[in-house]
A and B are shown apart, each in its own frame.
Chain A
Amino acid sequence: DAKTTQPTSMDCAEGRAANLPCNHSTISGNEYVYWYRQIHSQGPQYIIHGLKNNETNEMASLIITEDRKSSTLILPHATLRDTAVYYCIGTSGGYQKVTFGIGTKLQVIP
């Protein structure tokens, strides 16, 4: 799995877009970038994943740089319920041991 680097914490005003960066400079060609989040005391929740194209779903957008060394998760209109720890991981799929770092603690402020 690729090693990823994320800021420890971020704040975002409610209603604004939250942009969470992730560096994954060692990511290999067949590794996907996955994002999960963990709301306090709950099990992690899948958000989105991508390989090299930008992706969007009902929860978020994922922007991956052309060189694939970094990506940004975008929550377009953050709400208080988006307050959570967000994890970025690089993995080539289900048969790989996945390592979760400490993630980014996003605090959405009213």
Chain B
Amino acid sequence: NAGVMQNPRHLVRRRGQEARLRCSPMKGHSHVYWYRQLPEEGLKFMVYLQKENIIDESGMPKERFSAEFPKEGPSILRIQQVVRGDSAAYFCASLKGQGLQDTQYFGPGTRLTVL
């Protein structure tokens, strides 16, 4: 996990508020995945981004969720008008983007609690 940073580690929001989760990839990595994990469940793919480009967002809910990975700065997962069902751990993983044998390195996660 060394090198991939996520903040905040814990985030509490009331229903209807916005949540912004940040992920700083490892140095030299230009690709980022976001995953969501509900208690006692596996990781569910949400979105795969390259800098300034969304490669695959097929796992993202159609409404309220968006993600970006700008040329400068961290990747952001944004959840608008949060609901209780959004409470989960959100993990990002970064990789170099070299194709075959490109290992994902995960961050420590952000635990979102919606009151």
B102–A94 CB distance below 8 A: yes
Pick from B14-22, B51-59, B65-73, B79-87 the stretch touching chain A: B51-59
B103–A34 CB distance below 8 A: yes
Chain A CB within 8 A of B28 CB:
no
Proximity bits, B27-45, A CB within 8 Å = 1, else 0: 0000101010000011111
A43–B1 CB distance below 8 A: yes
Please provide the chain B residues from 93 to 109 with a CB less than 8 Å away from any CB of chain A in the complex.
Answer: 93, 95-109
One of A32, A43, A94, A101 near B31 (C-beta < 8 A): A94
Number of interface residues of B (CB under 8 A): 34
Please provide the chain A residues from 55 to 110 with a CB less than 8 Å away from any CB of chain B in the complex.
Answer: 87, 92-95, 97-103
Q: How many A-B residue pairs have CB under 8 A?
A: 69
B76 proximity list for chain A (CB < 8 A): none
A95–B55 CB distance below 8 A: yes
B100–A99 CB distance below 8 A: no
B109–A42 CB distance below 8 A: yes
* Separation of A102 and B93 alpha carbons in the complex (Å): 18
Chain B CB within 8 A of A30 CB:
yes
B33 proximity list for chain A (CB < 8 A): 98
A43-B108 contact given A94-B96, A97-B48, A103-B42, CB 8 Å threshold: yes
A44–B43 CB distance below 8 A: yes
One of B4, B48, B97 near A43 (C-beta < 8 A): B4
Q: Whose C-beta in chain A lies nearest to the C-beta of B105?
A: A46
A46 proximity list for chain B (CB < 8 A): 103-106
A98 proximity list for chain B (CB < 8 A): 33, 45, 104
Min CB–CB distance A34 → chain B (angstroms): 7
A94-B41 contact given A46-B104, A49-B101, CB 8 Å threshold: no
Q: List 30 A-B contacts (CB under 8 A).
A: A34-B103, A36-B106, A41-B89, A41-B109, A42-B108, A42-B109, A43-B106, A43-B107, A43-B109, A44-B43, A44-B91, A44-B93, A44-B106, A45-B1, A45-B106, A46-B103, A46-B105, A49-B101, A87-B42, A93-B101, A94-B95, A94-B98, A95-B97, A95-B102, A97-B45, A97-B59, A98-B104, A100-B42, A101-B42, A103-B42
